[in-house]
């Protein structure tokens, strides 16, 4: 006689980018084993495995390759919370040298963006560029890099279209090479405007607060990036 199939609990959350309600389930044991390898994985492996885990745990209902990176991160953290624990132990380093042992709740995570953020960037009097939020693998590929080619590729991949006074050029109608060459024609000031789109765009942020037991200082630390949750 075959063993029974166990019921897995399901939960709901709201996607930050769209406000859409989605359902998800916790990691299974076989998926948790994969999670434990992420801390030492290469960038490509991290991107692939995180997307596969998120896709499986959301019942393959999402267009996973089109979701903004912060949606993937947000879902992943909720998966981690329901699968392992909402509470994470952490050590904060106070400026006095004392190490503060504290905890935080993953479900307090928020998606923050700067108030003047816009995905329409005015390049010249006649031309502006419309941007998409980058997908997860593109962000993973540029974390900690100073490689100009990688950054240009990120910008090119994120262009949705270009406006002129009387025309619209859809990025889907252009080749990757054409988009890259277009980005390479930007002046330094124009490129800085586009960079601001990325630096001011929504980010998954976990705020941790703790008082130092030695000097009494109230420490506030903001964590971003999934590397803090690969445990």
- Residue 45, both tokens: 């492996």
* Element (DSSP H or E) covering residue 111: strand 110-112
At 87 the pLDDT is: 93
Annotate 67-110 with DSSP letters as a single string.
SBHHHHHHHHHHHHHHHT-SEEEEEEE-TTS-EEEEEEEGGG-E
pLDDT digits (tens, 9 = 90+) for 24-52: 999 988 888 877 777 677 777 888 888 99
pTM of the shown model? 0.86
- Residue 154, both tokens: 């990120």
* Largest Cα–Cα separation, the chain: 74
Q: Phi and psi dihedrals of 11, rounded to 5?
A: -135, 170
pLDDT digits (tens, 9 = 90+) for 123-162: 999 999 999 999 998 888 787 667 788 899 999 999 999 9
């Amino acid at each position: 006689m075959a063993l029974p199939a166990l019921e897995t609990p399901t939960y709901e959350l709201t996607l930050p980018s769209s406000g859409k309600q989605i359902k998800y389930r916790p990691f299974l044991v076989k998926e948790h084993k994969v999670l434990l390898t992420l801390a030492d994985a290469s960038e490509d492996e991290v991107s692939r495995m995180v997307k596969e885990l998120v896709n499986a745990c959301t019942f393959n209902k999402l267009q996973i390759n089109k979701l903004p990176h912060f949606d993937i991160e947000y879902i992943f953290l909720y998966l981690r919370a329901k699968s392992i624990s909402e509470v994470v132990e952490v050590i904060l380093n106070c400026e006095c040298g004392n190490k503060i042992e504290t905890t935080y709740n993953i479900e307090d995570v928020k998606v923050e963006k700067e108030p003047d953020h816009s995905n329409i960037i005015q390049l010249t009097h006649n031309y502006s560029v419309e941007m998409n939020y980058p997908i997860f693998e593109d962000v993973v590929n540029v974390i900690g890099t100073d490689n100009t080619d990688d950054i240009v590729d990120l910008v090119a991949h994120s262009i949705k279209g270009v406006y002129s006074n009387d025309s619209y050029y859809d990025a889907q109608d252009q080749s990757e090479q054409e988009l890259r060459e277009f980005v390479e024609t930007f002046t330094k000031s124009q490129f800085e405007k586009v960079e601001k789109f990325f630096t001011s765009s929504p980010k998954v942020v976990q705020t941790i607060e703790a008082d130092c037991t030695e000097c009494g200082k109230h420490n506030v630390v903001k964590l971003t990036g999934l590397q803090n949750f690969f445990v």
